[in-house]
Each structure stands twice: as C-alpha cells, then as structure tokens.
Structure 1
Amino acid sequence: MFKSVLLASAALIVAMPSLAQPVISATRISQDIRVVSSDAYAGRGITTPAEQKTIDFLTKGFAAAGFEPGGPDGKWTQDVHLRQFKVVDPKVNLAFADGSTLDLRQGEEITVSTRGTTSDVSFAKTPIVFVGYGVTAPERGWDDFKGVDVRGKIIVVLINDPDFPEPTLNTFNGKAMTYYGRWTYKYEEAARRGAAGVMIIHDADAASYGWATVKNSNTGPKFDIVRPDPSATSPKLESWISLDTAQKLFAASGQDLGALRVAARSKDFKPVELSATLNGSYKVNATEIVTRNVIARLPGTSRPDETIVYGGHWDHLGTGTPDADGDAIFNGAVDNGTGIAALLELARTYGKGPKPQRSVVMIAFTAEESGLLGSEYYASNPVYPLSKTVAGINMDALNVSGRTRDVAVTGYGQSSLEDMLKLYAAGQNRTVVPEPTPEAGGFFRSDHFPFVKRGVPMLDAHSGDDMVKGGVAAGRAAHEDYEEKRYHQANDEWSAKWDLSGMVEDVTLYYRIGYALANSDLWPTWRDSSEFKAARDKTAAERK
C-alpha cells in the first residue's frame, strides 16, 4: 500500500507543472503577523474584545481571497461551548509531621487551577501520595498505583514518562514521549481514580519548558468543553509544583526525591505515602462561555464532499502579570501569529489559482492554549464529515529565523503524508527528518491531534534545525532562545529583523501537498504500525 501511495504521489508532481512557482509572499505574511500580534489585539485572549477583532480580521482576509463562509448555517464561525474555571484567592500550604508548614504561593511554589469542579474547594489534612509517573498502561504491563486507593488524596507525579531519563529502557517508546507523559493524561488518570488533586513536579528538561511557561499557562482562567460531570475527567486541584518545593516536601517527609525518581522508572515501583498533608482553600468561579472557530471554504468543482483541511489556532494568552519590563500583553507573534498569517496566505494562493476538484477548508481554531479545545470541539462536532476529510495540515509557531536544509516532522513515521512531503521537499533540496525532541510530546500538543485520534491523517511539519546559514548549531540556538525568552511570554512580539525565507519555503510545501491532494483521488493512509489506523479503517466504506 505504501509503495503505491508513494508512486501516486510522484505521479502527481509530474502531472502538475502549474505548481512550480506558487507565489508565497514574505511581505504579506509579515504584515499579517504584525497586525494580529500588535498591542491592539491584546494577546488575542478568547472571550475578550480581541476575539471579535481577530475574527473580523480573519473573515475579511478569507473573503478577499475568494473563500466563502465555511461554518454551520452559512456563517464564518462555529460556536464552541466551553466552561471557564477561574480560581480566586488560593491559599494553600503543606503541613509536616514536625508541626512546621510551608506556604504555597500562586505562581511561585505552585500553580493552582481546576477544571474538575464548579464549587469552591477546601483541603484539611488531605493525605499526599507519590505515585511515580502516575501511569496505568496494561498493554505495557505497567501500573504505578499497585492497588493503592488514592480516592480523596493528593497524588504527586513526575512529568513525562518513565523512558525519558533512560530511553534505553524502551518501555514507553524510548526517547519519544507517549501520551502517558502528557500532563493532560496525569489529570485524567487522577480523576478516574477519584483523587482530590494532582501536583506535577516541574522539571524543565522533562517538560520541555521552564517555570515561567508553567506559571503563565496555569495561573489564569482554565477552560474545558462543557461536560455534565467535570469531575469525571479532571480533579478539583490541577497543579504544578516547582522542583525546589518538591525537594522540600520529600525531605521533610524523610524521603530522597532523587532516589525515588530513579525507582519510578521500574515496573516494580510502589507508591509512597508522604508524611505531609495539604491544607487550604480557594474559590472557583465557573461560567459557561461561547468562543468561536473561524472556518472558510473553497468548494471543490467535482468532489466537493471530500475535504482538505488547513488549521492553525488564532488564540493566545491575552494579558497577564507584567514582566520585569512592565509588559503585560502576551502578543503571541510566533505562537501563533505565524499560523494565522500562513492560513491567510494559503487562502490567497488558492484563490488566485485554478479551482480545486476537492474542497479546501481553512480553520482558525480557538482555545488551543486552553488545551486544544477549539479543535477538539470541531473534531467532536465536525462541519464536514471526518470520514471524507482527506487529510489536513496543521500550522503552529512557524519558522522566523531563515531557511533550513531540513523539514522536521512531529510524530514522524505515522502516515503517507510524510512521503509526499519528502517528494516536494526534495524539489527545494531539503531532507525530511524526525523532530529533534520527540520526548517533548509535540505530537500531542497542537490542533492536529483531535483529528488524529479520530483517524484523519494529519501533517505537522516545520523547518528543522539545520540552518542554511550556521547549520545545526544556529538552528538549535534560535530554538532555545525562543523557548527560553519568548515562548508564552510577553516578549513573543513581531520583529522587523525576522528572516521569513524559511517560513515561505514551508508554506510553499503545505500548498503543494494540499493542492496535489485536492486535485487527485488519492487518500493518504496510516502506516500499519500506527495506533490511529484502526480508527480510520472503521470508516473505509464511506470513501469507496
């Protein structure tokens, strides 16, 4: 099957000389990023006045490109029903066996949030249990809980999964993070077991981001899709604690955190009751809100019921605590002003060319920063059937540092979309490589994933680290500089010094792959080894 898909992809290139020179403009891309990441857009927080401002900008751009409204009932938008949880006045502390206490300040020693209750929360001498990585994986013969009842207790867990510090164990795919390593899984498993709360021990390497990112992402309002019983999927305390705080907690309990972290890598690990309790309270203001996905569509000429999707989230963090320079606006220029600009530029490129046989849909998702909720809502309530969604391309935090010799694929090795990417990348004298840090779990952290879980082949690919100017060292330095100084921080701002030549090449690849699919009868496939193949196979009859 894969060989036939590869040959079909190669035939598409030969048959489509019109794709030789798609005009992707760095100037237009830069201007769009500059607009949506300006202070006037106040960080594009959902349900703020900036939401309507962003929607207006997007719909005007899509309409000018020749696309039509693609949402339900002929609208440009899809209503996304969410519940907002706002923690107010959190005052919590750890109490130790010797009678001493440690106050946990919001954003300093701990981040206090919840999506698991609409009522106020209080803790009084609540027991605390260390459960290693907090993983239950029967297919791998792994159970960190070993029958210990954690109902009504606080569990302390390590971030990532057991293979991260020792990939040669290869129990959880070695270096590449599995879903068991994601913080979302930790909270879900705690809720399934009836735990009162979770404290995730922060580790910058294992999390792939520093404490500033944790603080900025977890001290404001949290969101979830509206659920009849929010406690079914989230505990009433969802928190991170700093590594220094964790060390104090374990030391005061007579435990060696370093030794327990090593022990947690083994299937034989058993939970450890800590001689400390959690006390305190916080108010929870829960309100139901409606935010919106923006959807634009270019109908196909001969098979309009078959859809190619391009996606990228429009939202960012809005405003928050001022940084050292007094800047409280999290502009989100790279994350994800670049994706917004790419959607608009792709729409312009499609609008100028011959109309495709299949439909092309652009979706600017809301609430990605709240947990991929806009894309989750769309995938749960698709406007266009997922069984007839041919494939999709996700664009999030694109390259602003110049051309690269490689293209990195997040979740490498999953589908035949990678083979199409290799063919078109070769035309740019570029190679396709796996993402450099699969242990960071990037495959689970962007808007393609809700589609992937339901079987739709999705591509999440971007410039690699091998810069044309400076090589791998320069690429890694640029990535690390962004992660440390700008990611989810107020400094993520537009710059006239950016080199968008690499982004132009990436967006050109996205166009060529999508346009080829939109003018063929090719259906990309999952590899036989992919865990997502079964979901796609269930709807195979609908694609005949």
Structure 2
Amino acid sequence: MTRFAASLLSLSITLALSPALAASPADAPTFDPQRISDMVKTLSSDAFEGRGPATAGEQKTIEYVVAQMQVAGLQPGGDLADGKRAWTQAVPLLRAQISGEPTLSVDTGGKSQPLAQGEQVAIRAAMDGSKSVEITDAPIVFVGYGVTAPERDWDDFKGVDLKGKIALVLVNDPDFETGDGDFGGKAMTYYGRWTYKYEEAARQGATGMLVIHETEPASYGWATVKNSNTNTMFDVVRETPSDTHPQMEGWIQRDFAAQLFKDAGLDFETLKKQAQSRDFKPVELKGETFSAKYAVDSKVITSYNIVGRLEGSERPDETVVYSAHWDHLGVGEPDAKGDRIYNGAVDNATGTAALIEMGRAFAQADRKPERSLVFLNVTAEEKGLLGSEYYASRPLYPLGKTVAVINMDALDPHGPARDFSTSGSAKQDLLDELVETAKQWDLRYATDSKPEAGYFFRSDHFPFAKRGVPAVSFGSGEDLVDGGVAAGRAAAEEYTANRYHQPADQWEAGWTFTGMARDLQLLYTVGSELANSDRWPNWDQASEFRAARDATAGDRK
C-alpha cells in the first residue's frame, strides 16, 4: 500500500533489451484471484493468531505454507542435513518482552509525573541483554536528529557525554522539513531510520534513547508506534548486543515531548529548526530527569524462514529469488473494540499468497527454468527484517550467484491500477527491466509520492541490496482503473491510518484481488526472463551498492 519512485529508464538499458526477451502478456500465466483470496483469508484468520514468530501461530503458518508449496509443485530448499533439504531455514533470535507493567516517570523541578506505557511513551523490551532495567533520575539531553555522518561533515553529538543519560532524538533526516540539504532532500537516508538512531545511541554510550514521534516524518501514526513497540521484541543473536542497543529504547509522543521542552524553558520548534544545521549542539533539558523500572523476560528462540525451490535445468547454481515475509504482530494490546489479534491480511498475507502462486506458476510451466528459483518466505520482518537479514548473512545459496531478488510486501487486494511502484529509488538494471517489461501491460512506473518515508530500508530486499545483490520490493499502483489516483491515494491513506499494524488489517469479502493477479504476471515475466538468460543485472555505477556487487564478480565467471 506504499508508493515509491525511481529514476527514469536509462536509454542504454532500453536499447540493450531485445524485444524477443520479453514475453507478451498472452504468454504470461494467469493467476487465480479466488485462490489468492482464499489463501489470504486463511493466513489472516484468527486461527493463525496474527502469525507471531515463535508462537503457535508460526507453527500453523509453516505447516500451511509448506503444504501449499508442496501442492504447487515446489521442492524443499531450506537447511541441508544428511544430504537432504528441509522446507525451512532455522533462524535463531533473541526474544525479549517486558514482564508486567513498566514503572515509568519524568521528574520536573522535583515534581514526579507517572507515565503510561503506550500513552505518552512506548518503551521497547531491552535488547542489550539486560534482564532488568532500572534507571533513576537520568538527565535528558536533546541530540537533534542523532546523526554522525563524517562524509557529510555532520555530528549531532559534538562530544557530549551521554553515559547515564537519556537521549531525545527527532525522527527522519535533517532535510525533512525543508526538502533541501546534505541528506538527499525529501528522500530519507538510512540516517533517518529509527534503527540507525538506536545503534548510534549505543555507540555514543547513552543509557537510553527516546525517538520523538511526529506522524509526517515517521510516515505513520502513534497507534502504529504503540502496537509495534510495546509487544514482544526480537533481534538476531549478536555476540555483544550492547554495541548495537542502548539499555532502553523507545518512542515519546510529540506533544508530551514539547511540554517537557517548555517545562525546561526551551521551545521545541526552535530547537528542531536548529537541529537542521550542522552547527547544532546538544541541549540538556535542565531540571528534568527520566526514571524507569521493569523486568525483561529474554531468551534465544528459533524461528524459521520457509524455503521452496525449483532447480534449474542448465545452471542450477545460479539463483533468482522471490521473497515475502509471513509474519505479523501476533497477539497484542487490544484496540478500541477489544480485538487483540493483529491478523495482517494485507501485511503480509498478500505477499505470502503471491509467493505460493508464483511458485505454482513456475512449477507448472511447460519447461523448467535454466537457472534455479527460490521462493523465500521469511520470518520476523516486522521485528526489523530479521529473517531476510539472517538469510542474507548466512545464505543457503551464494549471494555472488544470486541473480536478483524480487520482494512482495503488502500488495493491494483491490482492482488493477494503471501504474506500479517499488520501495525507494535506487538506480539499477533490475528496476529498468521491470519498468520496460511493464509496458506490455501499459503499466507505467509511478514517481515516488513519499520518499521521506524511507521505505527502501523497510522491506526484505534491503538486507540483500546492502550486500550488493540487485533487489527490488514491488509496490501496487496508486492510479486505480476504477477511481483513478484520488481513489488509490485515499485507500492507501485510510489503510495507513486505520489498519496498518492494527487488528483492523483483516480480510474482506469485497476484495477482488484482480489487480494483484495482473501484477503477478508482470513479476513472473521479469523473473522468467532472468531465469532463462545468462544476464547479471547490476547497480548503477554511482550506487552505494555497486562496490559490494562488483566484489563478487569472480563468482559469476
């Protein structure tokens, strides 16, 4: 349901693509909207309990997806044991949750104010390995956007000592407000992501960090923040987790944060403006402190990626990957109606159903692909792309011989659109081929309507991209055949406000899935062309991912 953009199709790539390479729409298989709907309905039913990792819902999801992959004609492509592949890849994760209700408060001028979890703040379970957190009267320091970027001559910390202190930080980049500056204008860089900000807080020695929530720069409302951060947390298992996580991580509501600034004799908007300059210096909220006390139940658990495969007929060691995440938020805090199950119909039962159907289409094709195809259904995307990060760091099939990754996440279950999008705007051959192939369906590539949201860093293609593998995450179009851009944009905004990461993301009988069925024809055609060729897409010469790809060039000789 998100909207993205990329560069215009490069002329050189356009001319290099032979018309003979692209299958006509008549040659693409058809995808059954009813079967897609049935799968989404099943996966997002209450019986699957929101598909939380390491829950009964995960086991039910694995059993269902594996059964569907088997019926579709795929072979197991997961972990190798005794010469045989399993249907899954084991993914060890650190699971942590706050035990009971945390005791939270701020002290202003000697007067203590209790804070309610999920109301003024949303505190995450400690991911630094702590079994308990006890912070007493920690000073609060505003550190702007929390960015250290030597290549941009930018340092928001200026040597401030944050030991024993709580850092307050703005979400997104310093360029967000003006659209102009050293961080790419409106398009978010990785420095704008909250994941980076927590990592930097740990590197700076802060005891904790609170990200100030504002809907526009975050690209989602407080309900999403609360639901995503007050339930069970996961991370990949790290040797020294405190190198990546401060002891306390969380979010704070904008209006409450602004009041804290005011009570300290400061103006929030004035300081936010100052933070947009490299001359900004950290500011302590004098006379105010933060306290927190809570126990943490943490242990290492094993979740699973689900992996189906079709072996290539001529070059089986070369792999095209289709991916989607199966997980959602599980069972969490109740909404206004008392519903506690976060069903995740659009996000991402749609992508999982699409993955199964894509596997079926290739398995039932008239000929086997020359290269192998992997259908990767990853875990823990909602916890920080952890399943795809684990696969990319410990690939079952070498990344140097992975041709491309085509990710499918939160596809539109309604009717067809006249356009499509991808997460982010990274220039690469794979995107050019997608854009060119789409013309067979008279589909145009949409410009990015919200580059500040940083979607490129929020989908499962990113762990592959940062290791050099050409990768895109497909997004449904916004210019609907029935209703145009106005209807498409309204539907997207309604979903983000009222359904995204909320129990209301449920299957609906009125969904036609006809647009999704058409889009899968496009994605099939692109993958088929790559699987039956000897081409190796790459990133643009100026891309930050090009060097990592070129470093594995020897694997492709």
TM more than 0.5? yes
Identity across matched positions, percent = 52
Matches within 5 A, 1:521-536: 521-536=534-549
Task: Report the residue type matching 2:448 in the other structure.
Answer: E
Question: Match for residue 55 of structure 2?
Answer: 48
Give how far 1:319 is off: 0.8
Are 2:317 and 1:305 equivalent residues in the alignment?
Answer: yes
The CA distance in 1 between the partners of 2:17 and 2:409, in whole Å, is 25
Give how far 1:9 is off: 3.4
Task: Report the residue type matching 1:543 in the other structure.
Answer: R
2:152 to 140, 165, 173: 140
Are 2:260 and 1:249 equivalent residues in the alignment?
Answer: yes
2:514 to 475, 495, 501: 501
The CA distance in 1 between the partners of 2:234 and 2:356, in whole Å, is 27
Give how far 1:184 is off: 0.1
CA displacement 1:385-437 (0-9 Å, x = unmatched): 00000001000000123211111122224211121112221111111123321
Is contact 2:460–2:473 with CA below 8 Å preserved after alignment?
no
The CA distance in 2 between the partners of 1:438 and 1:19, in whole Å, is 35
Q: Secondary structure at the match of 2:18?
A: helix
Is contact 2:25–2:441 with CA below 8 Å preserved after alignment?
no
Are 2:519 and 1:510 equivalent residues in the alignment?
Answer: no
Of structures 1 and 2, the one scoring higher in RCO (CA 8 A, sep 6+) is 2
Are 2:84 and 1:71 equivalent residues in the alignment?
Answer: no
TM-score (norm 2): 0.95
Give how far 1:285 is off: 1.2
Are 2:412 and 1:431 equivalent residues in the alignment?
Answer: no
CA displacement 1:502-544 (0-9 Å, x = unmatched): 2112211110100100000011110112111011010111111
The CA distance in 1 between the partners of 2:70 and 2:18, in whole Å, is 33
Question: Match for residue 269 of structure 1?
Answer: 280
1:384 to 378, 394, 397: 397
The CA distance in 2 between the partners of 1:120 and 1:17, in whole Å, is 60
2:197 to 183, 186, 204: 186
Is contact 1:401–1:478 with CA below 8 Å preserved after alignment?
no
Are 2:172 and 1:164 equivalent residues in the alignment?
Answer: no
Give how far 1:501 is off: 1.8
Q: Secondary structure at the match of 1:307?
A: strand
Task: Report the residue type matching 2:380 in the other structure.
Answer: A
Is contact 2:28–2:524 with CA below 8 Å preserved after alignment?
no
Q: Secondary structure at the match of 1:446?
A: coil
Question: Match for residue 216 of structure 1?
Answer: 227
The CA distance in 1 between the partners of 2:355 and 2:397, in whole Å, is 18
1:487 to 496, 500, 511: 500
The CA distance in 2 between the partners of 1:9 and 1:295, in whole Å, is 31
The CA distance in 2 between the partners of 1:379 and 1:273, in whole Å, is 40
Runs (5+) with no aligned partner, structure 2 = 1-8
Give how far 1:304 is off: 0.3
Is contact 1:209–1:483 with CA below 8 Å preserved after alignment?
yes
Task: Report the residue type matching 1:39 in the other structure.
Answer: D
Task: Report the residue type matching 1:144 in the other structure.
Answer: D
Task: Report the residue type matching 2:272 in the other structure.
Answer: R
The CA distance in 2 between the partners of 1:281 and 1:134, in whole Å, is 25
Question: Match for residue 90 of structure 1?
Answer: 102
CA displacement 1:470-522 (0-9 Å, x = unmatched): 22111110000100111000110001111322211221111010010000001
Is contact 1:117–1:235 with CA below 8 Å preserved after alignment?
no
Give how far 1:220 is off: 0.8
Question: Match for residue 461 of structure 2?
Answer: 448
Give how far 1:461 is off: 2.1
The CA distance in 1 between the partners of 2:226 and 2:360, in whole Å, is 38
Question: Match for residue 464 of structure 1?
Answer: 477
Give how far 1:19 is off: 6.4
CA displacement 1:437-461 (0-9 Å, x = unmatched): 1100100001111001100000112
Task: Report the residue type matching 2:96 in the other structure.
Answer: F
How many residues of Structure 1 are paired with residues of Structure 2 in the alignment?
A: 541
Q: Secondary structure at the match of 2:123?
A: strand
Are 2:547 and 1:540 equivalent residues in the alignment?
Answer: no
Question: Match for residue 21 of structure 2?
Answer: 13
Task: Report the residue type matching 2:254 in the other structure.
Answer: L
Is contact 1:187–1:198 with CA below 8 Å preserved after alignment?
yes
The CA distance in 1 between the partners of 2:531 and 2:305, in whole Å, is 23
Which moved further from structure 2: 302-311 or 48-57? 48-57
2:46 to 17, 39, 43: 39
Is contact 1:10–1:423 with CA below 8 Å preserved after alignment?
no
Is contact 1:410–1:434 with CA below 8 Å preserved after alignment?
no
Q: Secondary structure at the match of 2:17?
A: helix
Q: Secondary structure at the match of 1:460?
A: strand
Q: Secondary structure at the match of 1:337?
A: helix
RMSD: 1.4
The CA distance in 2 between the partners of 1:102 and 1:536, in whole Å, is 53
Which moved further from structure 2: 116-125 or 452-461? 116-125
2:270 to 244, 248, 259: 259
Give how far 1:8 is off: 4.5
Runs (5+) with no aligned partner, structure 1 = none
Is contact 2:318–2:371 with CA below 8 Å preserved after alignment?
yes
Classify 1:290/1:349 alpha carbon distance in 2 versus 1 (closer, same or farther; 3 Å): same
Classify 1:404/1:55 alpha carbon distance in 2 versus 1 (closer, same or farther; 3 Å): same
Give how far 1:117 is off: 2.7
Is contact 1:376–1:450 with CA below 8 Å preserved after alignment?
yes
Which moved further from structure 2: 528-537 or 319-328? 319-328
Is contact 1:8–1:522 with CA below 8 Å preserved after alignment?
no
Is contact 1:121–1:284 with CA below 8 Å preserved after alignment?
yes
